[in-house]
Amino acid sequence: MTAFIAITTLLTLLVVAWVLRPLLRPAPQSGISSQRLNADIYRDQLQALERDLARAAISQADFEATRDELQLRLLDDTAEPDTDPQTSSTPFWTARRTAAVIALMLPLGAVGTYWWLGTPGAIDPVATQKMNDDKVVQMVESLAAKLKANPDNPKGWAMLARSYKVMGKLAEAEQAFEKAGQVVSNDPDLLVDYADILAVRGGNTIEGRPLDLVNQALRLDPRHPMALMMSGVAAYRRADFALAAAQWEKLLAELEPGSPDAQQIEADIADARAKAGQPGAAAGRMTPENINQMVERLAERLKSNPGDLAGWAKLARAYKVQGRLAEAEDAYAKAGKLVNKDPNLLTQYADLLAMRAGNKLEGRPLALVKQALALDPKHPMALMMAGSAAYRRADYAQAVLHWEKVLTVLDPDSSDATQVIAEIAQARAKGGLATPAKP
């Protein structure tokens, strides 16, 4: 903004100087008056008359008569004023006054015209960014309205899904991907984007539908970088370290050698090989120091790109795993809107705040849990935390209500379900609640 104002000011001053130069330049003096001109004429006539007398062309009497007549005429002419007194007075609009008015009005007129017809807000980068963000939101809302009126537009739904994902509106993005139908099934990029959304909304779990979509993308494009990355992560989490290393080796071939991403994948491959017992793994085996370096690289990238909300959420989870709870809380706060619209992130944030408060859920943590349940009434982690909060304040009936909802989304034969059943029984006993009869 400062540079723009400086440049425009300099240009305006140059234009003003160019316009005022003729007005301020001194007017040339003529150096000739009518009296002097008449005197010169009469002098020439007298000299001519004297030459005629010398040549005896005229008599003495004629010479004297003509001389007297010329002298009288000279007196008459030189006695007249050289200029009219009215014309010699100084006018009000002198050149200097005109120049002063122009010097004042030209810059003011330029500024006023720009303020009226131009875009002053474009000088402010913050205002420009906000204006651009508003335009993007308007474009997305316009596209959504058109698709509601004409839903038979798979490509339009795919475009809307990607827009929603960038905006952090993951639930809306998932719905739009579902409506895109066959367009998604034939495009590896869309398949991976869809899988990523499902994984994030499922608590960052790639197994199940997200992995099916990733595998489908790899069938269409066996070298797709993001699909290879997600496939390797899924294999690593289920302890198939050999497959994880194999998928990440394919990914490494697609990356720029020596780049930060390539270095990260090399470290991941070394870790997977070490856990798989493959040779050559020890040299690049992951250590706490390597993990810290990975986290710090992510933090540095976010300093230069603070608008990456998903990146801040990842950094928050990494800090939490490392036990850096204060930094994790700050990262969750910077994830902003993305956290507020994602029940998984809300519960993770609530858990972090509870840990920092001595495992107390009341207050802000419970408010975040309730916000998550408003978005997803059957969210397992949110229900468990809400039940725990109720249990601690001796509201055993409410605790049982929350935990019974958890059982509806858990595998009945899982250890988690067994644990929840035990907690429900304990809450019923403490609250003197009757155990429902078995059907």
The pLDDT value recorded for residue 432 is 84
**Confidence class for position 319, pLDDT limits 50, 70, 90:** confident
Contact 259, 294 (CB under 8 A): no
User: Which CATH superfamily hosts domain 328-431?
Assistant: Tetratricopeptide repeat domain (1.25.40.10)
Q: Which long-range contacts (CB under 8 A, 24 or more apart) does 147-153 make?
A: 147/179, 151/179
Please list, in sequence order, all residues whose beta carbon lies within 8 angstroms of the beta carbon of residue 405, skipping any fewer than 6 positions away.
377, 378, 383
Spans of all domains in the chain = 145-275, 328-431
Whole-Å CA distances, 346 to 148, 165, 293, 325, 338 = 30, 17, 27, 15, 9
Backbone angles phi, psi at 350, to 5 degrees: -60, -40
CB-count burial class (<10 Å; 0-12, 13-18, 19+) for 277:
exposed
75 compared with 192, residue with greater pLDDT? 192
Within 10 A of 126 (CB to CB), how many other CB atoms are there?
A: 9
The arithmetic mean of pLDDT across residues 110-135, rounded, is 60
The pLDDT value recorded for residue 281 is 46
The arithmetic mean of pLDDT across residues 89-108, rounded, is 70
The pLDDT value recorded for residue 257 is 63
What angle do the packed helices 260-276 and 225-237 form, to 10 degrees?
30
Q: Please state which of the ranges 56-65, 242-251, 302-311, 398-407 shows the lowest mean pLDDT.
A: 56-65
How far apart, in whole angstroms, are the C-alpha atoms of residue 85 and residue 79? 15
The arithmetic mean of pLDDT across residues 126-145, rounded, is 66
Identify which of 332, 331, 335, 329 has the alpha carbon closest to the alpha carbon of residue 309.
335
Tens of pLDDT, residue by residue over 393-427, are 899 899 889 988 888 887 777 777 788 888 888 88
For residue 152 the two structure tokens come to: 């038979």
For residue 426 the two structure tokens come to: 């304990």
Contact 284, 271 (CB under 8 A): yes
Helix intervals (H) in 25-88: 34-54, 60-79, 85-88
Give 145-275's CATH code, choosing from 3.30.300.130, 1.25.40.10, 1.20.1740.10, 1.20.140.70: 1.25.40.10
How far apart, in whole angstroms, are the C-alpha atoms of residue 178 and residue 181? 6
Q: Please state which of the ranges 22-31, 195-204, 214-223, 428-437 shows the lowest mean pLDDT.
A: 22-31
Identify which of 63, 36, 44 has the alpha carbon closest to the alpha carbon of residue 52.
63
Check whether 370 has a pLDDT greater than 90.
yes
The pLDDT value recorded for residue 108 is 76
The pLDDT value recorded for residue 27 is 56
For residue 24 the two structure tokens come to: 């301020």
Please list, in sequence order, all residues whose beta carbon lies within 8 angstroms of the beta carbon of residue 157, skipping any fewer than 6 positions away.
147, 151, 176, 177, 179, 180, 181, 183
The arithmetic mean of pLDDT across residues 162-171, rounded, is 82
Q: What is the DSSP letter of 361?
A: -
Check whether 133 has a pLDDT greater than 80.
no
Check whether 360 has a pLDDT greater than 60.
yes
**Confidence class for position 212, pLDDT limits 50, 70, 90:** very high
This model's pTM is above 0.75: no
Contact 433, 397 (CB under 8 A): yes
How far apart, in whole angstroms, are the C-alpha atoms of residue 205 and residue 195? 10
How far apart, in whole angstroms, are the C-alpha atoms of residue 262 and residue 241? 19
Same fold, 145-275 and 328-431: yes
